[in-house]
Amino acid sequence: MKKGQSSLEFLVLIMFALSTLLLFSVAMIETMESLSVERAEERVMQLYNVIDKEFNFALQSQGNYNRVFYLPPRINGEDYAFNHSDDNEIHIVLLSRDYVFFLESEINITGKFSKGYNNISKVCGESCEIIIT
């Protein structure tokens, strides 16, 4: 009877150790996923800041303006979806998360931002227009 009791105690101890290991593993995985999402959000914000900065340079320039800038095809090795709609909405999808930003302007904007090289121009005549190619 003593052998049976010590075997049972050993099994309970092993089950407790495995349960603790499993809980620790789940906590680590959740922490890693959280850090991954935070890094992705930071990278998306950096990408938007590049677009916003270039857009504001064009808006604030006196007279005509022309500049070429680059938007990477991947963010930290991850592919992302990028869309610039007619109402100046910038939509970025990275790691199955949607991020939406807006460019505010009273100046007419034609063209769309895209991955790769972008040319942003401000052309002023009777009125000013921003052209993205």
Tens-digit pLDDT string for the chain (133 aa): 566 677 888 899 999 999 999 999 999 999 888 888 888 889 999 999 999 898 888 888 888 889 999 999 998 888 998 888 877 888 899 888 899 998 877 777 888 888 999 999 998 877 788 888 8
pLDDT at 4: 67
Tokens of 25: 């593993």
Look up the domain containing 20 and give its range: 2-132
What's the domain count of the chain? 1
Tokens of 53: 């900065």
List Cβ<8 Å contacts ≥24 apart for 45-54: 47/71, 47/72, 47/75, 47/92, 48/90, 48/92, 48/99, 48/101, 51/90, 51/101, 51/103, 51/113, 52/101, 52/103, 54/118, 54/120
